[in-house]
Amino acid sequence: MLADQPDYEVVGEAANYQELKAVLRNTIPDMLIMDYDQPGAFSLDDLVWIARRYPQIRILVISNNKHKHDIVTALQAGVSSYLLKECGKDEIFSALKATMHGEQFFCSQIVDNVLERRYPVSCEGLVLTERELEIVKLVAEGYTTAEIARMLCRSVHTINTHRKNILGKLGLKSPSELVLYAIKRGLVAA
């Protein structure tokens, strides 16, 4: 699929972890597309090592692995985006574009799967990214997802992914709770 796209150049391919390490010794790509759940080829430990060793590489996982623990481990290691292999071509290209722009992208099944698990809240509180704070503010100001997508030059799916991530991080269940959060935090006037 990528070979036919003028915006992307494939700079290396690897069938297993050893081959990937050899490729990474010679070139550091902007993005790595990987299925870490391939017995005899790649493992979750390999993915974690790569994400920590090369934090400048944006990692897009396309896998069949739906195990919450593995997904959370991959995300905590620094994976940028995560799709299931059953996702369509359009969703894959949306994920590629978002990942290359430094954004996170998750198919809805991954978001739903991960949000079922509540993370322990630390004493430091939750930190939203600048983009997430911007989206919270726009939601609280009454803009629709489509309007926010146009304003930020992003896809509707990307904005929906951000909204689901924000609700999950804050432990909220609805847009109205998000508006109350924004008012309490002084992001918008009451």
pLDDT tens column, 39-89: 888 988 898 899 989 999 999 999 988 888 888 888 888 888 898 888 888
Report residue 147's pLDDT band, with 50, 70 and 90 as the boundaries.
very high
Mean pLDDT of the chain: 83
Q: What SS3 state is found at 53? A: helix
Amino acid, single-letter form, for residue 93: F
pTM of the model: 0.60
Question: What is the pLDDT averaged over residues 13-31?
Answer: 93
For residue 168, pLDDT over 90 is answered with no
59-63, long-range: CB within 8 Å, 24+ apart, which pairs? 59/31, 59/32, 59/34, 60/31, 60/32, 60/33, 60/34, 60/95, 60/96, 60/99, 60/105, 61/33, 61/34, 61/35, 61/36, 62/33, 62/34, 62/35, 62/87, 62/92, 63/35, 63/36, 63/37
Listed range (20-24, 110-114, 127-131, 165-169) with the worst mean pLDDT: 110-114
Question: What is the pLDDT averaged over residues 93-103?
Answer: 87
For residue 98, pLDDT over 90 is answered with no
For residue 124, pLDDT over 70 is answered with no
